[in-house]
Amino acid sequence: MATFLYKLGRLAFRRRHFVALIWVALLTLAGVGAASAPPAGTTSFSIPGTEAQKAFDLLEQRFPGQSADGATARVVFKAPSGEKMTDAGNKATVEKTVDELADGSEVASVADPYTGKAVSKDGTIAYASVRYDVSGMELEESTKHALEDAAEQARDAGLTVEVGGDALQAVPETGATEIIGIAVAAVVLVITFGSLVAAGLPLLTALIGVGIGVSSITALASALELGSTTSILAMMIGLAVGIDYALFIVSRYRAELAEGREREDAAGRAVGTAGSAVVFAGLTVVIALVGLAVVNIPMLTKMGIAAAGTVAIAVLIALTMIPALLGYAGRRVKPAGAKGGLLSRRRRDDKDGSTEPWKETGPAKANLGTRWASFVVRRPLAVLLLGVIGLGAAAIPASDLELGLPDDGSQPTSTTQRRAYDLLSEGFGPGFNGPLLVVVDAKGSDAPKDAFTQVSDEIKGLDGVVAVTPPAPNKGGDTATISVIPDSKPSSVQTEDLVHAIRDAGGDIKAGTGAETLVTGSTAMNIDVSEKLNDALLPYLVLVVGLAFLLLIVVFRSILVPLKAALGFLLSVMAALGAVVAVFQWGWLSGLMGVEETGPVMSMMPIFMVGVVFGLAMDYEVFLVTRMREAYVHGEKPSQAVVTGFKHGARVVTAAAVIMMAVFAGFIGSSEAMVKMIGFGLAIAVFFDAFVVRMAIVPAVLALLGKKAWWLPKWLDRALPNVDVEGEGLRTADERGSGPDEDRELVRT
C-alpha cells in the first residue's frame, strides 16, 4: 500500500498539469450536468415492510386518481375578536377564497369549511382543505403564489389566515453560519501551517471535491429522486473530511521536507504514509455511510450512498491533487518549523535548484503534544477514569431519549405553517394535526359493509379517540377509509399507543369478518419509521463496527487497539446523543442554538450519528495511532511510541478536529430541523471523540497496556495481508541507500 501510494504521489507531483486538468474537467462536467439537469421532482418517502406503507400502496391501487402523494394545504381562518366564522361577512370572505383556490390548474379539490363541517365548536376557527395533483416539490411557483395571494386577500378582509401542509414546502437553507464555519477552518489552517499557500491547498481541494460531489448529486437528483437534504449532508461531510484528509498529507509533506528530502520525494512519502492513513480512514467512513442501506429506508440509503461518494472523491483528491498542487506551490510551502520566508537552519541546493533545509540537529523544545502525552503516560489511570466519568455524565440525558419525526408543530413560530398548526390545535384539539387514516380491505370479506361498520364502531370505543368519520368506500365497494382524530398531539406517546390499539383490534376483526385493517397517514408513518430505525440500530451497529474492526486489525496488526477504538467510539456517540437530548428535547441552550421548539429527537438521528460519527472517529484513531504504531515498529518502547505519536500528530489532529467542528457547526444555522440537529450532533461528537477519547483515553489505555496493546496471534499475523501503513517498505529502501530512481522501482517483498 505505502509503495503504491508513494509512486502515485510522485507521479502526481511530476504530472501535475495532467492531474489538475483531469480534476478541473471533472468539476466542469459535473457543473454542466447539474446546470442542464431537470429540476428535482418528488422525493418518495417509502418505508418497505411497514403497515403504513402497505396501506398507502393499497390506497393507490384501490382509489386511483385521488393523488395519494399529492401536496396538501390547510388554509386556516380565525375570526376577529368578538366575531364568528359563521357571520355573513366572514363566511362570504371564506367562500370567495375557496372559489379562487379551486381555479388553480394543479388543484385536485378544495373542501368548503361550511359544507365539510370544518368549523370549530365555538365558531371562531375554520379551515379549507386543498389537495393538489402533484407533490409539494413539483408544484409550480405560480400555484404557490396563488395560494399565498388568496390567503393575503382574506387577511385584508380582516381575518387571521395561516397556511399549513406541504404545499408551501421550501428548499432548506443553511444560512450564513456555513460560511463562518469555512472561515474558521481557514484561520485554523493558517495558524497550523503559518502560510497562506499551505493553508489554501486543503480548502481548495475540499471545495473542488465537494463541488464535484454536490454537482453530481444535483445532476442525478431528478432521476434518482434525491431530496435537497441529501446534497446538504453530502456537502457537510465532504467539506469536513476533504479538509482533514488534505491537512494530514500537507502536514506530513512539510515534516518530510524538514527531514531534508527533496520535494518530489517528500510528496511521494507524504502520500505513501499519511495517504495510507487517509485511505483506511476514508474506508471506515464509506463503510459506515453505505451500511445505512441495512435499515431498508430508501431515503436514508440514498443519503448514505451520496455522502459516501463525496467522501470517496475527497480521498482521491487528497491522494492526487494535493501532491500536484504541492508541485505548483514549490518553495512557497515551507518545511515544518520554518517561519516566514527565512529559515533559521542551514540550506542546501537540490538538483532542481530549489533550496531545502537539512534536518535540524540538537535538542528541540518539546511541543504541547509531547508534554501532554508525557503527562498521560505518567498518570494513565487517573486520566482514563476522568475521561470515562466525564463522558458518562454527558451521556445521562440520552436515557430520556424520545424519538419522532418533525411536523409543522416543530417549525419556528415565525412560519405560517406553525401558526396554522397552532390555530388548528386551538380550534379542534391537538390530535387534529395528526389524524390517523384507517384503511379497511374487505376484498376477502363476505359482507364488506358490515365489516366497515364493525371497524368504525370498534375504533369509537377505544380510549384517546375524539372523532371517527363514517367509512368512505371506493367505487368497487371492497375498500373503505376511516379518519380517526386522537385527543393527543401527533408526536405524543398516547397517539402511538392508540395506533397500536387500532392495529390490535384489527387482528380480532380480521378473524371474525375476513377484512384487514391497516393504519396509515403521516402520523402512523412516523411511528413506523421510528420503530423500524430502533429495530435496525443494533444490527447496523454490529455490521459497521464489525467490518471496521476487521479493517483496523489489518491496519494496526493488533486486537486490543481496534477493540479500544470501538469502545471509545461508543462512549463518544452516547455522550453526543446526551447533548442532543439536552439541547433539542430538554431545551438547554436552545436559544443559543436557534432551537425555537423543543420536542422529540428525530428518529433517524441515532442511527445516522452512529454511522457518521463512527467513520469520523476512526479518522482520528487511524491518523494518531498509526504514528504511534510507526514509532513502535521502528523500535521505540510502547510508552515512548505514544509520546512520539503525539509529538508528530497531536497538533494536526487538533487542527483537524477544530476544522471539522467548525464545518459541522456551520450547519446549525440551517432552516431544516434535521440538518440543524445533525450539524450540532456531529460537531459535539467530534469534540468528545477527538479531545476526550483520542487525546486522553486512547493514550491512557495504550500506556496501561504497554506491549500487550500490539499483541496479535501468530496465526492471524501470518493470515493478514501486510498493507504497510507505516511506510516500512519506504524506510527499508532508504536504509539500503537507494536513490530517487531506485525508490521509484521499489517493490515490497
User: The C-alpha cell of 179 is what?
Assistant: 460560511
Asked whether the predicted pLDDT for residue 743 surpasses 70, the reply is no
Work out whether strand 436-441 and strand 479-486 pair parallel, antiparallel, or are unpaired: antiparallel
Q: Which pLDDT value is given to residue 76?
A: 93
Asked whether the predicted pLDDT for residue 684 surpasses 90, the reply is yes
Task: Report how far apart, in Å, the C-alpha atoms of 174 and of each of 234, 660, 663 are.
Answer: 13, 16, 12
CB proximity list for 85: less than 8 A, separation 6 or greater: 77, 78, 79, 91, 94, 113, 119, 120, 123, 124, 125, 126
Query: According to DSSP H, which parts of 581-672 are helical?
Result: 605-633, 638-665
Q: Which pLDDT value is given to residue 68?
A: 54
**What does the pLDDT look like over 184-228, one tens digit per residue?**
888 888 887 777 888 888 888 888 998 998 888 888 877 776 766
Asked whether the predicted pLDDT for residue 312 surpasses 90, the reply is yes
Residue 396 burial (CB count, 10 A): 13
Q: Which pLDDT value is given to residue 208?
A: 92
CB proximity list for 347: less than 8 A, separation 6 or greater: 355, 356, 357, 358
Secondary structure class of 42 (helix, strand, coil): coil
Q: Which pLDDT value is given to residue 659?
A: 84
Average pLDDT, the chain: 82
Q: What are phi and psi of 402, to 5 degrees?
A: -120, 135
**What does the pLDDT look like over 521-565, one tens digit per residue?**
888 888 888 888 888 888 888 888 888 788 888 888 889 988 888
Question: DSSP character for 339?
Answer: B
Question: What average pLDDT does this structure show over 659-688?
Answer: 82
Q: Which pLDDT value is given to residue 344?
A: 39
Q: Which pLDDT value is given to residue 353?
A: 39
Q: Which pLDDT value is given to residue 527?
A: 87
**What does the pLDDT look like over 576-620, one tens digit per residue?**
999 999 998 888 887 777 776 777 888 878 887 887 787 777 777
Question: What average pLDDT does this structure show over 238-248?
Answer: 86
Secondary structure class of 397 (helix, strand, coil): helix
**CA–CA dist 730, 12 (Å, integer):** 18
Measuring CA to CA, which residue among 668, 616, 681 is closest to residue 307?
A: 616
pTM comes to: 0.77
Question: What average pLDDT does this structure show over 436-451?
Answer: 86
Q: Which pLDDT value is given to residue 592?
A: 77
| pLDDT interval class at 709 (50, 70, 90) | confident
Q: Which pLDDT value is given to residue 513?
A: 79
CB proximity list for 714: less than 8 A, separation 6 or greater: none
**What does the pLDDT look like over 283-305, one tens digit per residue?**
888 888 888 888 888 888 888 88
| pLDDT interval class at 24 (50, 70, 90) | very high
User: What is the per-residue burial (b if ≥16 Cβ within 10 Å, else e) of 508-544?
Assistant: ebbeebbbbbbbbbbbbbbbbbbebbeebeeebbebb
Q: Which pLDDT value is given to residue 350?
A: 42
Question: DSSP character for 585?
Answer: I
Question: What average pLDDT does this structure show over 48-76?
Answer: 79
Q: Which pLDDT value is given to residue 586?
A: 87
What percent of the chain is modeled with pLDDT above 70? 88
**What does the pLDDT look like over 321-367, one tens digit per residue?**
999 999 888 888 888 766 544 333 434 444 443 444 434 444 556 77
Q: Which pLDDT value is given to residue 43?
A: 52
Q: Which pLDDT value is given to residue 202?
A: 87
Least confident span in 363-372, 501-510, 643-652: 363-372
| pLDDT interval class at 745 (50, 70, 90) | very low
Q: Which pLDDT value is given to residue 2?
A: 76
| pLDDT interval class at 92 (50, 70, 90) | very high
| pLDDT interval class at 740 (50, 70, 90) | very low
Q: Which pLDDT value is given to residue 319?
A: 94
Asked whether the predicted pLDDT for residue 172 surpasses 60, the reply is no
